[in-house]
Amino acid sequence: MDGPGSYLQPAVLTGVRPGMRAYHEELFGPVAVVHRVGSDAEALRLANDTPPYGLGGAVFCTDEPRALTVARGLNAGMVGVNAMCGDTADLPFGGVRRSGFGRELGPLGMDEFANKRLLHIRRWIDL
């Protein structure tokens, strides 16, 4: 990088298997773990094998009924279809399991202990 500032090189990890830190940890920053699967069911098993976390997920697909089926099967607090996880004023930001701690914008009382889900859909538009 020329000049002052900071830069983190983006990384794409492949070949990540159970037992590796990147397999079960929530990664923040410019890093993505890419897996190849043979079916939607296998993708869901892999995506949901994230204990103790479940902050958010996204499904990108031109077949909306298929995308919704996969999205509904994700065990996460926020799920996007054809978009990254969004947020909304009427649900607090947060996930499930250990990713559900520290929710913001929620009312006091028992509602703080409820796990709510947000499903955000962006329609494909052919131009």
Per-residue burial over 78-103, b if 16 or more Cβ lie within 10 Å, else e, is: bbbbbeebeeeeeebbbbbbebbeeb
- Residue 5 belongs to some domain of the structure: no
Residue numbers of the domain that contains 81: 40-121
Tokens of 80: 């996007």
**pLDDT at residue 81 in the model:** 92
Residue 15 pLDDT > 70: yes
Lowest mean pLDDT among 11-15, 30-34, 40-44: 30-34
- Residue 32 belongs to some domain of the structure: no
The arithmetic mean of pLDDT across residues 30-34, rounded, is 91
Using one digit for the tens of pLDDT, what is the confidence trace for 53-93?
Answer: 777 889 999 999 999 999 999 988 888 899 876 666 666 66
- Residue 90 belongs to some domain of the structure: yes
- Residue 79 belongs to some domain of the structure: yes
- Residue 8 belongs to some domain of the structure: no
User: What sign does the dihedral 93-71-26-122 (CA atoms) show?
Assistant: negative
Q: How many domains does the chain have?
A: 1
- Residue 35 belongs to some domain of the structure: no
- Residue 104 belongs to some domain of the structure: yes
- Residue 16 belongs to some domain of the structure: no
